[in-house]
């Protein structure tokens, strides 16, 4: 059938093919370093942001850097916290995770007078021993009941001092895990209250609760006020937290909101006998540079247990809540299998799920999804609460239970345990 | 005549596109329409096409035709007892002109759009009503993806019909090339990184079943990245330029990829053998397409400790259906369970450590294809030496197996990639062999652009099927 558009179609098709080829050629000639025009919805840009915010040159000229606790020089730094200068000149250093930490402070070489700093540390384990050291000796910074410590210090021109922290651990200790708060910070406050009770009762039992891991989606819309709300709740907890963002925390591209409030999303720490590695999978995959660093992040470093946490579960089963890049998820599972990780914790699916035996080659991994931090769970009775894992370094065993924190209106947990392997925790 | 038509075209939104006949306006004379005499000789008719308004092609064939154009001075037609809206409804639901048996493309597309909308509503109900704690998420997202593609396809098909692309089946319509080479590239480039150029050899020979009851297609591919993907570490701690690089970010990982897939696709006409053909909304097919896909990736950190990872996706029970909404437009959907095998090597070794199967997420695909005839008849009446036909394909693949997922705002990690493709088949007149050229884009975790060059082997059954 004849149609007046026929010749135009043929021309348009040819032009389309030529344009495609030209685009491919043009793409070769416009190369820039990562994130020269950043979109913080991209994982690699957040890697840059979390490392930028792990050091600070203060208005007084002092250089503050979070460090690997094992290093003794401040030549470089590591994204293990967030350093910022507040309006009143106070230096705020938020430690990214429970366990050992180190912060170096160096005065400018060309300073003509001593540099005085008022430093506020946050997210510090109340049971930790924190010291200020330098060439003039070592002093202990007294602890409080909260996760904050404050100190005043003076740096001579060119002087380097260190703030270091660590805590003594019994062979048995506990770790809480939760994810997906999103639109329900009120319910999360109830969970936080239960965590505080649990921390006190666990300490009394001689099995301390050493930290809370939040596997992403602290907010619904990545807004600063939402992060502030969660930050205030976490600030009242008597235990330190380790956080990594979820897809709802990172999708505003103009600012790295999560990193500016809480610091890194990719970080690892040794907590008692446990190696905890958190990966920022908010974009549906980890940044390629982080993927290359996974062996370093999950290196046990002498720890008995290895736990990896992220928002998107690398094995999603039928939840539909997987990674955008399944190839990257498979590569991560392989690394975890090679290291024989004891546990993978994730969120994203607003549910409590336990995948006990995920075959990865000739190894099986265990993954628990704990998207029960308050986010909407649909009609039916929601299951809110947190997972509590108990590790025994001497016996090399792990036990777990789910602390259900029902919403207002329920006197008792309204749900039966999700599985025999996930019983309800006894009331604290 | 052009101005009101143009205005009407611009003023019509999606619903208008679906509800107004492509070339008929209630307030103006209709353009030429091709009808058929009982003898089979095509004739041009002018005026509101009785063929288009008829539900029965036999009626249209027996209707007298005229070549006299209607003008403003044409006497008003005799008063009709039917209202204008009734006429519009009748025209909207009319058979495609010149196509036997009758196929009502516009109602079919409206139905597909409705099905897409209902699917989206059900998916939204599952996800937001029941929530994703009861394992409904995967079927719900799958449904949302298929429904969305159905909707987009129906609207695109309506637009195509609007510009005159509805018509009889093309005698040499596109199918996948018997053998082809495909190339694609995924950008953008970053300083000191390299993105892979992918090349693959694809095969898809067809075996048509007797009596047009269906066909069996074997398909497979082997290919991979022509160059390794190289990644750098952009952390600001690195301030010196490593040897061989332009920027300060050191190279941290190289990755290579090998891709293999094989399967077959059996299509049988539906409701065969109950009925030979749907009487109103076009024919349909049932499909069964088991396949296996394997990807081997080598991760090389720049030392001797490279690791080999093999991912296998087994789709043994994928079933589907194809709906011929018009002779030139088709909607196809597949879905089925998925089983994954993940094997890996120790650092520096090539020996794979294999294990059992994981239950993977559900697998699904949806495609909307629109055939486009590209070869006009020569004005001098002579036969052209090459017949060209095109095909626009829109697709959604509910799988992120190849590392591509379509994300939108905070909706991250749920959807698979979107696919847009164009193919052109060039066949010298009388030649049993044809060439196919194509370009495609895949959107998900960035964009992939690709080209495909293929050859279509002789089809011994083509003449028999065309005559039928």
Answer yes or no: is pLDDT of B46 > 70: no
d(CA B87, CA B92): 8
* Percent residues over pLDDT 70 in chain A: 94
Question: In a 3-state reduction of DSSP, which class is residue B94?
Answer: coil
B274: distance to nearest CA of chain A, Å?
34
Nearest beta carbon to residue A288 from set B231, B424, B437: B231
Chain A residue with CA closest to B449: the answer is A20
pLDDT (tens digit per residue) in A9-27 = 667 767 776 776 666 555 5
Crossing angle of helices A326-338 and A288-297, in 10° steps, is: 10
Of B344, B394, B402, whose CA–CA distance to B200 is shortest? B402
Question: In a 3-state reduction of DSSP, which class is residue B54?
Answer: coil
d(CA A327, CA A182): 28
pLDDT (tens digit per residue) in A186-223 = 999 999 999 999 999 999 999 999 999 999 999 999 99
B68: distance to nearest CA of chain A, Å?
20
Of A323, A320, A326, whose CA–CA distance to A312 is shortest? A323
Question: In a 3-state reduction of DSSP, which class is residue B122?
Answer: helix
Question: What is the torsional sign of CA A180, A298, A353, B130?
Answer: positive
Question: What is the torsional sign of CA B276, B277, B278, B279?
Answer: negative
pLDDT (tens digit per residue) in B301-355 = 888 889 999 999 999 999 999 999 999 999 999 999 999 999 999 999 999 999 9
Q: Which of A2, A19, A32, A34 to mutate to test the interface with B (most CBs of B within 10 A)?
A: A34
Residue A391 contacts residue B391 (beta carbons within 8 Å): no
Number of CB pairs, chain A paired with chain B, less than 8 A apart:
252
State the pLDDT at residue B28.
31
State the pLDDT at residue B54.
32
- pLDDT-derived band at B134 (thresholds 50, 70, 90) equals low
State the pLDDT at residue B92.
80
Tell me whether residue B11 is exposed, middle or buried, using C-beta atoms within 10 angstroms of its C-beta: 0 to 12, 13 to 18, 19 or more: exposed
From residue B442, alpha-carbon distances to A253, B185, B224, B421 in Å are: 23, 10, 17, 8
pLDDT (tens digit per residue) in A58-113 = 999 999 999 999 999 999 999 999 999 999 999 999 999 999 999 999 999 888 99
Residue B32 contacts residue B52 (beta carbons within 8 Å): no
pLDDT (tens digit per residue) in A112-142 = 999 999 999 999 999 999 999 988 789 999 9
Question: Rounded to 5, what percent of chain B is helix, strand, coil?
Answer: 20, 35, 45
- pLDDT-derived band at B72 (thresholds 50, 70, 90) equals very low
Q: Which of B162, B191, B235 to mutate to test the interface with A (most CBs of A within 10 A)?
A: B235
B367: distance to nearest CA of chain A, Å?
21
B231: distance to nearest CA of chain A, Å?
7
Nearest beta carbon to residue A312 from set B191, B253, B413: B413
Q: Which of A8, A264, A333, A361 to mutate to test the interface with B (most CBs of B within 10 A)?
A: A361
Residue A36 neighbours by CB distance under 10 Å: 10
Q: Under an 8 A CB cutoff, do A380 and B187 touch? A: no
Lowest mean pLDDT among B26-40, B131-145, B388-402: B26-40
Q: Under an 8 A CB cutoff, do A284 and B407 touch? A: yes
Across chain A, mean pLDDT equals 92
Answer yes or no: is pLDDT of B68 > 60: no
- pLDDT-derived band at B122 (thresholds 50, 70, 90) equals confident
Q: Under an 8 A CB cutoff, do A247 and B413 touch? A: yes
pLDDT (tens digit per residue) in B188-237 = 789 999 999 999 999 999 998 887 778 999 999 999 999 999 999 999 99
Q: Which of A15, A180, A378 to mutate to test the interface with B (most CBs of B within 10 A)?
A: A378
State the pLDDT at residue A380.
80
Q: B158 has which bridge partners?
A: none
Which DSSP letter does residue A394 get? T
State the pLDDT at residue A19.
74
Question: In chain A, which residues have their Cβ closer than 8 Å to the Cβ of B99?
Answer: none
Q: Under an 8 A CB cutoff, do B412 and A383 touch? A: no
Strands A149-155 and B179-186: unpaired
Answer yes or no: is pLDDT of B292 > 70: yes
Residue B278 contacts residue B271 (beta carbons within 8 Å): yes
State the pLDDT at residue B2.
41
pLDDT (tens digit per residue) in B356-405 = 999 999 999 999 999 999 987 777 777 788 999 999 999 999 999 999 99
- Mean pLDDT in residue range A333-340: 96
pLDDT (tens digit per residue) in B225-261 = 999 999 999 999 999 999 999 999 999 999 999 999 9
More confident residue, B132 or B51: B132
State the pLDDT at residue B304.
81
d(CA A289, CA B179): 38
Q: Under an 8 A CB cutoff, do B252 and A283 touch? A: no
Residue B36 contacts residue B43 (beta carbons within 8 Å): yes
State the pLDDT at residue B413.
86
* Percent residues over pLDDT 70 in chain B: 75
Question: What is the torsional sign of CA A386, A391, A396, A399?
Answer: negative
Question: In a 3-state reduction of DSSP, which class is residue A139?
Answer: strand
More confident residue, A32 or B41: A32
Tell me whether residue B431 is exposed, middle or buried, using C-beta atoms within 10 angstroms of its C-beta: 0 to 12, 13 to 18, 19 or more: middle
Answer yes or no: is pLDDT of B128 > 50: yes
Residue B266 contacts residue B214 (beta carbons within 8 Å): yes
Nearest beta carbon to residue A34 from set B190, B343, B344: B190
- pLDDT-derived band at B19 (thresholds 50, 70, 90) equals very low
- pLDDT-derived band at A378 (thresholds 50, 70, 90) equals confident
d(CA B176, CA A307): 47
Q: Under an 8 A CB cutoff, do B400 and A34 touch? A: no
Of B162, B151, B148, whose CA–CA distance to B17 is shortest? B162
Q: Under an 8 A CB cutoff, do B353 and A27 touch? A: no
Answer yes or no: is pLDDT of B29 > 50: no
Instruction: Examine the predicted complex and report whether its ipTM is higher than 0.90.
Output: no
Q: Under an 8 A CB cutoff, do B405 and A378 touch? A: no
Q: Under an 8 A CB cutoff, do A349 and B133 touch? A: yes
pLDDT (tens digit per residue) in B150-185 = 999 999 999 999 898 888 888 888 999 999 999 999
Question: In chain A, which residues have their Cβ closer than 8 Å to the Cβ of B375?
Answer: 6
State the pLDDT at residue B12.
41
């Amino acid at each position: 059938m004849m149609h007046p558009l026929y010749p135009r179609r043929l021309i348009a098709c040819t032009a389309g093919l030529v344009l495609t080829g030209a685009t491919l050629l043009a793409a070769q000639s416009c190369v820039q370093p990562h994130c020269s025009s950043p979109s913080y919805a991209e994982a690699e840009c957040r890697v840059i942001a979390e490392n930028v915010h792990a050091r600070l040159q203060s208005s007084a000229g002092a250089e503050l850097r979070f460090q690997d606790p094992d290093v003794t020089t401040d030549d470089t730094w590591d994204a293990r916290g967030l350093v910022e200068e507040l309006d009143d000149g106070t230096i705020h250093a938020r430690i990214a995770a429970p366990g050992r930490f180190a912060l170096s402070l160096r005065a400018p070489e060309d300073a003509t007078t001593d540099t005085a700093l008022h430093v506020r540390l946050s997210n510090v384990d109340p049971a930790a021993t924190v010291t200020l050291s330098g060439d003039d000796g070592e002093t202990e910074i007294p602890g409080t009941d909260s996760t904050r410590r404050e100190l005043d210090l003076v740096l001579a021109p060119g002087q380097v001092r260190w703030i270091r922290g660590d805590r003594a651990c019994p062979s048995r200790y506990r770790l809480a895990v939760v994810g997906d708060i999103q639109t329900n910070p009120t319910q999360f406050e109830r969970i936080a209250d239960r965590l505080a009770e649990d921390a006190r009762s666990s300490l009394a039992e001689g099995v301390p609760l050493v930290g809370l891991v939040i596997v992403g989606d602290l907010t619904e819309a990545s807004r600063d006020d939402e992060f502030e709300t969660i930050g205030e709740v976490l600030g009242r907890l008597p235990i330190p937290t380790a956080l990594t963002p979820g897809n709802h925390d990172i999708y505003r591209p103009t600012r790295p909101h999560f990193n500016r409030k809480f610091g890194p999303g990719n970080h690892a720490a040794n907590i008692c006998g446990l190696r905890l590695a958190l990966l920022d999978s908010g974009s549906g995959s980890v940044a390629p540079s982080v993927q290359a660093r996974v062996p370093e992040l999950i290196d046990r470093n002498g720890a008995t247990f290895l736990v990896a946490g992220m928002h998107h579960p690398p094995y999603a089963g039928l939840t539909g809540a997987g990674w955008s890049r399944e190839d990257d998820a498979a590569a991560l599972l392989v690394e975890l299998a090679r290291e024989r990780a004891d546990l993978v914790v994730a969120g994203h699916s607003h549910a409590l799920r336990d995948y006990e035996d995920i075959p990865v080659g000739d190894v099986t991994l265990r993954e628990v999804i704990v998207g029960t931090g308050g986010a909407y769970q649909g009609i039916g009775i929601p299951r809110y609460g947190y997972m509590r894992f108990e590790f025994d370094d001497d016996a090399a065993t792990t036990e777990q239970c789910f602390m259900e924190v029902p919403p207002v209106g329920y006197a008792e947990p309204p749900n039966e345990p999700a599985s025999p392997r996930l019983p309800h925790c006894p009331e604290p | 005549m052009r101005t009101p038509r143009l205005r009407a075209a611009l003023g019509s939104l999606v619903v208008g596109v679906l509800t107004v006949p492509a070339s008929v306006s209630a307030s103006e004379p209709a353009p030429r329409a091709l009808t058929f005499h009982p003898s089979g000789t095509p004739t041009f008719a002018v005026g509101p096409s009785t063929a288009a308004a008829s539900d029965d092609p036999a009626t249209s064939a027996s209707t007298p035709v005229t070549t006299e154009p209607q003008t403003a001075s044409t006497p008003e037609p005799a008063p009709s007892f039917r209202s204008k809206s009734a006429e519009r409804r009748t025209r909207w639901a009319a058979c495609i002109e010149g196509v036997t048996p009758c196929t009502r493309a516009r109602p079919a597309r409206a139905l597909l759009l409705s099905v897409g909308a209902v699917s989206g509503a059900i998916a939204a109900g599952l996800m937001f009503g029941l929530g994703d704690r009861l394992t409904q998420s995967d079927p719900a997202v799958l449904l949302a993806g298929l429904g969305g593609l159905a909707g987009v396809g129906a609207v695109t098909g309506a637009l195509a019909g609007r510009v005159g692309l509805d018509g009889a089946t093309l005698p040499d319509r596109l199918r996948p090339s018997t053998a082809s080479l495909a190339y694609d590239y995924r950008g953008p480039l970053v300083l000191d990184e390299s993105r892979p150029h992918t090349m693959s050899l694809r095969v898809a020979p067809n075996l048509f079943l007797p009596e047009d009851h269906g066909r069996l297609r074997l398909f497979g591919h082997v290919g991979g990245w022509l160059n390794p993907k190289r990644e750098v570490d952009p952390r600001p701690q690195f301030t010196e330029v490593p040897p061989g690089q332009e920027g300060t970010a050191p190279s941290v990982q190289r990755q290579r990829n090998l891709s293999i897939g094989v399967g077959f696709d059996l299509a049988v006409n539906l409701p065969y053998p109950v009925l030979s053909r749907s009487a109103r909304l076009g024919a349909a097919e049932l499909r069964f397409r088991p396949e296996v896909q394997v990807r081997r990736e080598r991760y090389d950190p720049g030392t001797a400790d490279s690791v080999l990872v093999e991912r296998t996706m087994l789709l043994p029970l994928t079933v589907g259906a194809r709906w011929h909404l018009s002779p030139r437009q088709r909607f196809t959907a597949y879905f089925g369970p998925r089983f994954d095998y993940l094997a890996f090597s120790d650092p520096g070794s090539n020996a794979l450590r294999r294990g059992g199967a994981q239950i993977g997420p559900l697998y699904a695909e949806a495609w909307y294809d629109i055939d486009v005839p590209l070869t006009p008849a020569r004005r001098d009446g002579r036969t052209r030496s090459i017949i060209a036909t095109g095909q626009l394909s829109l697709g959604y693949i509910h799988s992120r197996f190849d590392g591509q997922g379509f994300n939108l705002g905070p909706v991250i990690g749920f959807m698979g990639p979107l696919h847009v493709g164009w193919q052109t088949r060039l066949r010298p007149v009388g030649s049993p062999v044809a060439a196919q050229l194509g370009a495609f884009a895949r959107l998900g975790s960035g964009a992939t652009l690709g080209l495909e060059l293929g050859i279509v082997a002789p089809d011994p059954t083509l003449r028999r099927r065309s005559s039928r």
